[in-house]
């Protein structure tokens, strides 16, 4: 069984991408007593892999903000991932963490010392915070986007949304239905993909919209139980796939998924070593902070 060594955070890479690729593959092959060329990806495969911009193009713009999604469109992405959280007064907004501390500063200055939970703040209170300035002065004044503003951005920039439902206080069937209705109202029903680590949320989605494309986010090694869970999300008219952590994938587990009718996408891949592995394993999509169609062409050739 092939195993993938743990990934380093992107900021820790100091080598050029082509050297990083070789380092990762050498570690992978050494761990499995394999020949280096066993993972040589075909050019056809690497150019066919779907690229999903993780929280927008967060390598250059503040994550989960409108500037990040607009930048993703400029960089040639067709798919953008976002994280949906809820305010105390029931407004769906884009935020990955349960608190706003990491990604924001108060517009009037001061430090965010105590945890500020999104679920305990109203939308108007969130508008007092700047969600761009930590990324750079050019983004100063960026507000936290509502889910509706995100959908408008996707529609206007011809982007297909990957919508991650974050586990959050008070999320229920009615709130998930609100999101589904919003997606439909912006004409994005057939372009949207819904993902979550929370199986119950995805089950509700499959019941609300029998044709919704659903990805089960997974951070363990997939096994027979995973197949049972994915089958539980299937309807007569939808597509269900596994959205797996790259470092937990094996060739055997990918084969098992595909043999049971489920495609596999991976997160979060920020170097070409893991991109090579995902391609060689037969994964159909990669969520990434920084790999673009142009960088794939530069790295592998046309």
Structural domain boundaries in the chain? 15-84+160-300
pLDDT at 20 over 70: no
Mean pLDDT of the chain: 89
pLDDT at 117 over 70: yes
**Per-residue pLDDT tens over the stretch 197-219:** 999 999 999 999 999 999 999 99
pLDDT at 36 over 80: no
Rounded Cα–Cα distance for residues 241 and 195 (Å): 9
Task: Kindly report the pTM of this predicted structure.
Answer: 0.88
**Can you give the pLDDT at residue 18?**
46
More confident position, 73 or 40: 73
- Band of residue 192 on the pLDDT scale cut at 50, 70, 90: very high
According to CATH, the superfamily of the domain at 15-84+160-300 is Phosphatidylinositol (PI) phosphodiesterase (3.20.20.190)
**Can you give the pLDDT at residue 43?**
61
- Band of residue 255 on the pLDDT scale cut at 50, 70, 90: very high
Output the 3-class SS for the chain.
Answer: CCCCCCCCCHHHCCCCHHHHHHHHHHHHHHHHCCCHHHHCCCHHHHHHCEEEEECCCCCCCCCCCHHHHHHHHHCCCCEEEEEEEECCCCCEEECCCCECCCCCEECCCCCCCCCCEHHHCCHHHHCCEECCCCCCHHHCCCCCCEHHHHHHHHHHCCCEEEEEECCCCCCCHHHHHHHHHHHHHCCCCCCCEEEECCHHHHHHHHHHCCCCEEEEEECCCCCHHHHHHHHHHCCCCCCEEEEEEHHHCCHHHHHHHHHCCCCEEEECCCCHHHHHHHHHHCCCEEEECCCCHHHHHHHHCC
Q: Which of 1-10, 44-53, 245-254, 266-275 has the lowest mean pLDDT?
A: 1-10
**Per-residue pLDDT tens over the stretch 172-189:** 999 999 999 999 999 999
**Can you give the pLDDT at residue 29?**
53
Q: With pLDDT > 90 as the criterion, what percentage of the chain qualifies?
A: 79
**Can you give the pLDDT at residue 240?**
98
**Can you give the pLDDT at residue 168?**
82
Answer yes or no: are the C-beta atoms of 96 and 64 closer than 8 Å: yes
**Can you give the pLDDT at residue 38?**
46
pLDDT at 79 over 90: yes
């Amino acid at each position: 069984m092939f195993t993938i060594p743990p990934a380093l955070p992107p900021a820790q890479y100091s080598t050029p991408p082509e050297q990083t690729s070789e380092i990762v593959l050498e570690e992978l092959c050494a761990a499995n007593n394999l020949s280096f060329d066993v993972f040589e990806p075909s050019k056809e495969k690497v150019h066919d892999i779907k690229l999903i911009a993780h929280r927008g193009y967060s390598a250059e713009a503040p994550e989960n903000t409108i500037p990040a999604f607009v930048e993703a469109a400029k960089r040639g992405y067709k798919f953008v991932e976002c994280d949906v959280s809820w305010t105390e007064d029931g407004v769906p907004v884009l935020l990955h963490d349960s608190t706003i501390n990491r990604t924001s500063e108060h517009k009037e200055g001061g430090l965010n010392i105590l945890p500020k939970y999104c679920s305990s703040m109203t939308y108007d209170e969130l508008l007092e915070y700047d969600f761009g300035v930590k990324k750079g002065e050019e983004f100063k004044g960026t507000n936290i986007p509502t889910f509706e503003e995100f959908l408008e951005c996707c529609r206007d920039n011809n982007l297909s949304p990957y919508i991650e439902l974050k586990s959050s206080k008070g999320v229920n069937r009615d709130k998930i239905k609100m999101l589904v209705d919003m997606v439909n109202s912006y004409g994005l029903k057939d372009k949207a993909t819904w993902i979550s680590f929370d199986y119950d949320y995805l089950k509700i989605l499959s019941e609300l919209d029998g044709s919704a494309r659903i990805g089960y986010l997974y951070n363990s090694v997939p096994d027979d139980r995973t197949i049972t869970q994915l089958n539980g999300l299937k309807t007569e008219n939808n597509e269900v796939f596994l959205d797996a952590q790259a470092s937990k994938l094996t060739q055997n587990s990918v084969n098992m998924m595909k043999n049971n009718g489920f495609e596999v996408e991976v997160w979060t891949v920020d170097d070409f070593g893991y991109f090579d592995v995902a391609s060689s394993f037969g994964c159909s999509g990669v969520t990434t902070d920084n790999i673009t169609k142009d960088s794939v062409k530069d790295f592998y050739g046309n």
